[in-house]
Every structure is written in structure tokens, then in C-alpha cells.
Structure 1
Amino acid sequence: MQFSGKTHKFGNDVNTDYIISGKYKFKTLDMKELAKHVMEDLDPDFYGKVSTGDFIVAGTNFGCGSSREQAPLAIKYADVGAVLAKSFARIFYRNAINTGLPVVECDTDRIEPGDELTVDLEAGQITNKTKGTVIPIKPLPKVMIKILNDGGLAAHFQKYGGFNFS
């Protein structure tokens, strides 16, 4: 599983209310509408700048706060390819995998806004094409990669009738 795109960098402790503000979460269940407001409290122009496959890059504790699935879903519906961070809040991390949003733990210190990256989950590395460097990533278990390839946990269960570990 490979992704390529440019980076949009944020800091530490990006909570789910920064990802999608509570003022929108309760007004609509339309994920395409929610996606228009992803990250707007931290970058009001984010939705207009992000292109299909781009990456959100952050520091530690990305996705802290609420356990609602709207945050990773809104990111996914904004066509973000993956979220790269030093660490994730546990519930956000699981919700992201379950909804089919790739989340990658890695050292993000050497990634700058606008860098062009290729993320290869199976090879366990990020290639920063802008800087000509390679960053190792914390590998995902094969079943998680399979869940992501299938589009999330519900799609995976629908396809296999349960977990498929092979």
C-alpha cells in the first residue's frame, strides 16, 4: 500500500475538535459536508489547499479528545491519503483504521510543510522526494493493512465475513 502527496504540517496535541469542530459534528451526518471543515480551526484554508492523496503531518498525541468517528472520517472524506504523526491517541488510531484512514507513526521532525512524500506501508518507510531522505515507519500488522486496503473494518467484514488473517 503506497501513497504519494504533499504535506500539511500541524503541531502536537491536535484534538478531535481541531480536526472537525463540534459546531459541525451535530449539524449534519453528510461526511462530504463535514470534510469541507476539516482542520479549519488550525488552518481556515486547509480544505482549499489539500489535494487528493496529500498528508496531514503532526507531532505527538494526534487525535486526542473525543472518541467519535467523525474526526477520522472527515479527514478521509477530505481525500487525505494518510495522517503521519509521532504518536496518536489510542481511540483515534483505532477509529482511523476501522474507517479506512491510514495512520502512520514516524519521526515527523524532518518533514516540512509542502514536502512531497511517498509512504510505503509494506516497505515500512517514507521517502521524502523533496529532500531525498528516507524515514522508517512503525510497521502495521498485515491484518491492519488488509483492513485499510478493503476500505475499513466494515468493508473487510462484509468481504470476508469476519477477520481474514491470511
Structure 2
Amino acid sequence: MDSSLSSSAGSLTVIPGRARLLGDDINTDYIISSSRKKDSLDPDVLRRYLLEDLDPGFAGSVQDGDILVAGHNFGCGSAMEVAVTTVLAAGIRVVVARSFARTYWRNAVNNGLLLITAPTEDLCESVREGETVALHLLGASAELRVGADERRVIPCEPVPDIVLTIREAGGLVPYLRRHRKFSEPT
């Protein structure tokens, strides 16, 4: 759950979570197996299959609000939107990675999954599995704070305002229903 705090520079949004570490090149067929994609579109069913080919117990260990931390090229592979649906269905609202496949990034924006790029060379070495993390967003600025004391800070690339606005609406379709067009965030 996001919490907002006031700041002299604007509104600070803090998204706390627990780090779940993944490596490089996590493709969409790892996120949801090809054999499962056609079984169901029900998010309650899909969530059970998250990353089952990499770790059969992973989906059962996910807690609502966990944050995926990954290396290069997260979401590569097929452009199936179900890979984003599966992550969201598991209760994950944020993925922090060194880089993302463009089609996964677009599908994530469309569905309200926040992707944060942290170009830090040692991102996966800077965070331990299960460690407390908190994403701090202040306008477009983003940083991942690591540890219960949040002393370790990983700078992240800025997040475009339109991406944040679409996410706040719950995805592209809810955004367009509300606004009927794309407009510059106020």
C-alpha cells in the first residue's frame, strides 16, 4: 500500500515492501509458463503460477506488496500481457530492475504496474532476498532505500509524469475512461 507524505518539494510517495531477487533476462515465459498462459485469464488462478519454472515455490512465498528486484532485460520474450497480469495478481505493484524489455514496459504501463529502472551496476548485490525496501517517489524522482533503517540508497531513473498518472488511474483503460484523451498531468 502506498503512503504519501508532505515535503517542501511536493508530495513524497513511499511504497514499502520486501525485496524478492531475480537475475538477468527474466523472460515472460519464466514469469508465466507458456503452458499456463492459455489455461486461464483469471488473476486468482494466474498468481499461483508466478515464476513456477524458475522456482516452483515462489508464488506461494509472495506476500502482498513484495517488490521484485532484477537485473538486465526484465520481461524479455513474448509480448503477452498476461505476464504483467500475473505479477499484479500476485500482489506485486513495483518491479525495480537495471533494464526492461520495451514490450513488457509498455504492457506494465497499460496495466498500472510500476517499473523502476535503477542503472546501478550492482543492483542485485546491493539488496538481499527478503530485505526491507522502500521506493521513494518525489515527483518524477525515484530512489530505492534498502534496509529497515533505509540508509542504503539506490538512485533510480526519473519516472515520466504520464506513467505515474496512468498508474494512479489503475492503468491505461481506466485513465482513458476518466480523461477521454491523453493530457499533460497537472
**Normalising to structure 1: TM-score of the pair?**
0.95
Contact 1:67 1:92 in 2 (8 A): yes
Give the deviation of 1:132 after TM superposition: 2.2
Amino acid at match of 2:152: T
Equivalent in the alignment of 1:51: 63
Question: Which secondary structure does the structure 2 equivalent of 1:63 belong to?
Answer: coil
Find the counterpart in structure 2 of residue 91 from structure 1: 103
Q: Name the residue aligned to 2:74.
A: 62
1:9 maps to: 21
User: Deviations for 1:132-162, whole angstroms, at most 9, x for unmatched residues?
Assistant: 2111111111111010111111111011112
Partner residue in 2 for 1:82: 94
Structure 1 residue 88: deviation in Å? 0.4
Distance (Å, rounded) in 1 between the aligned partners of 2:72 and 2:163: 21
Give the CA RMSD over aligned residues: 1.3
Contact 1:124 1:136 in 2 (8 A): yes
- What's the counterpart of residue 128 of structure 1? 146
Deviation at 1:30, TM superposition (A): 0.9
- Aligned partner letter, 1:5: G
Instruction: Confirm or deny: 8 A CA contact 1:62 1:89 kept in the other structure.
Output: yes
Aligned position for 2:52: 40
Cα offset, 1:39, TM superposition:
1.0
Specify which of 155, 160, 165 is matched with residue 174 of structure 2: 155
Q: Which has the higher strand share?
A: 2
Tell me the CA shift for residue 24 of structure 1. 0.8
Three-state SS of the structure 2 residue aligned to 1:135 is strand
Q: Supply the distance in 2 between the matched residues of 1:42 and 1:51 (Cα, whole angstroms).
A: 18
Contact kept? 1:126, 1:134, Cα under 8 Å: yes
2:5 aligned residue: none
3-state SS, counterpart of residue 44 of structure 2 = helix
Q: Give yes or no for the alignment of 1:115 onto 2:115.
A: no
CA distance in 2, matches of 1:2, 1:34: 28
Q: Residue by residue, what CA displacement relative to the aligned partner does 1:51-85 show, whole Å, maximum 9, x if unpaired?
A: 11111111000000000100011101110121111
Instruction: Give the gaps of 5 or more residues in structure 2.
Output: 1-12
Check conservation: 1:3, 1:81, Cα contact below 8 A: no
Gaps of 5+ in 1: none
Runs of 4+ with >4 A deviation:
none
The reply on whether 1:140 has 2:159 as its aligned counterpart is yes
Separation in structure 1 between the aligned mates of residue 40 and residue 79 of structure 2, nearest angstrom: 18
